[in-house]
Amino acid sequence: MKLHLRIWRQAGPDAQGHMARYELDGVTPDMSFLDMLDTLNEQLIAEGCEPVAFDHDCREGICGACGVVINGEAHGPERTTTCQLHMRHFSDGDTIDVEPWRAAAFPVVKDLVVDRSAMDRVIGSGGYVSVPTGSAPEAHATPVPKPDADEAFTHAECIGCGACVAACPNGAAMLFTAAKVVHLAALPQGRVERESRVLDMVGTMDEESFGGCTVTGECATACPKGIPLTSIAAMNREYVRAVRKRR
């Protein structure tokens, strides 16, 4: 099939960007969205133009590297990552708009590549259990009720792609931060540091110029891993708890 693409091109972090138009023929329904961009890039190289830069790596929907906004939706129309979105969800002659994640905390590096290191710093400020290598007790020393383990897993699935931030009209990282807070608070191993964790992570989140939550639900709709909106409420609960226990 033949597609009309409008893709955000921006030469560098400080450069002015614009939506560029490309025509791409020979797209097949079995291609993934990134295969399609690969094909476009091969065409651009052959024409002597610079290919479109985009982040990607595992192409199995787990590393979280890829992610672009397709027709105004983070990761496109299906609930999956961009690499797992296939062209069969589009039709011949479609015009497709491709843009980078937009958020103050995610400055554009080039074209569709953004800098998501703010999310790493949120994790670094408390998204861990302080357990130096070698100091761990025997794994069966603390049984974990299955519902708690399942709850932890559901939130641990976050791939850190940033779609929640991109989809949120406030550029908030609440769902991302909540996923880690809830994951670790659900497990006995993570409960020791639960108060300082939520206070520090939320503090860093605010420092990194992410916005706040207005419960639009866009984040949970865009999340390729289905992290529920209620995890934000759970994080708020943790936060209230931590503030109360501070005294």
Partner 1 sequence: MTTPPGAGAGQDAAEHAGHAAGRGREQTGRDAEQDAGHAEQDAGHAEQPPPADADAARTVPYADYRVGEPLVDRSAPDGPIAERWDRRRFEAKLVNPANRRGHTVIVVGTGLAGGAAGATLAEQGYRVLQFCYQDSPRRAHSIAAQGGINAAKNYRNDGDSVHRLFYDTVKGGDFRARESGVHRLAQVSVEIIDQCVAQGVPFAREYGGLLDTRSFGGVQVSRTFYARGQTGQQLLLGAYQSLSRQIAAGQVEMRARTEMLDLIVIDGRARGIVARDLVTGRIDSYLADAVVLATGGYGNVFHLSTNAKNSNATALWRAHRRGAYFANPCFTQIHPTCIPRAGDHQSKLTLMSESLRNDGRIWVPVRAGDDRPPREIPTSERDYYLERQYPAFGNLVPRDIASRAAKSVCDEGRGVGPGGQGVYLDFTDAIARLGREAVAERYGNLFEMYERITAESPYETPMRIYPAIHYTMGGLWVDYDLQTTVPGLFAIGEANFSDHGANRLGASALMQGLADGYFVLPSTLGDYLARLPRDEAFRDVDRDHPAVHACVGEVTDRLFALLSNNGDRSPESFHREIGELLWEECGMARDEAGLKRALERIPALREEFWQRIRVPGSGRELNQSLEKANRVSDYLELAELLCLDALHRTESCGGHFRTESQTASGEALRDDESYTYAAGWEFTGAGRAPVLHREQLNFEYVHPTMRSYA
Partner 2 sequence: MSWTDAPAAPYLRPMAQVQAQATATGQSGRQASTADLLWRSTIGKKLVMAVTGVMMLLYLVGHMLGNLKIFFGPEEFNGYAHWLRTLGEPLLHYEWFLWLVRLALLAAVVLHGIAAFQLSRRDLAARPKRYAHRGGSARRGGYATRTMRWGGVILALFLVWHLLDLTTHTVNPNGEAGKPYENVVATFGTWYGNLIYGVAMIAVGLHVRHGLRSAAHSLGAATAGRDRALRFLGDGLALVLTAGFLSVPLAVQIGAVS
Query: How far is it, in rounded angstroms, from Cα 32 to Cα 86?
Result: 4
Least distance from partner 1 to the Cβ atom of residue 112, Å: 11
> In the chain, how long is the greatest CA-to-CA distance?
66
Q: Output DSSP code: residue 140.
A: G
Pick from partner 1, partner 2, none: which does 29 bind, CB < 5 to 8 A by kind? partner 1
Q: Kindly state whether residue 132 participates in binding partner 1, applying the rule CB under 8 A.
A: yes
Q: Which of residues 157-186 bind partner 2 (CB under 8 A)?
A: 167-172
Q: Which of 105, 103, 100 is nearest to 204 (CA)?
A: 105
Residues in region 15-54 near partner 2 by CB under 8 A: 19
Query: What angle do helix axes 174-185 and 146-156 make, rounded to 10 degrees?
Result: 150
Q: Give dist(CA 183, CA 100) in Å, integer.
A: 28
Binding of partner 1 by 25 (CB under 8 A) = no
Q: CB 214 → partner 1: shortest distance, Å?
A: 27
* Site for partner 1 contains 207 (CB under 8 A): no
- E strand or H helix at 210, and its extent? none
At its nearest, how many Å lie between partner 2 and the CB of residue 191?
17
User: Which one of 1, 24, 149, 220 is in contact with partner 1 (CB under 8 A)?
Assistant: 149
Of the candidate residues 127, 190, 211, 224, the single one contacting partner 2 (CB under 8 A): 211
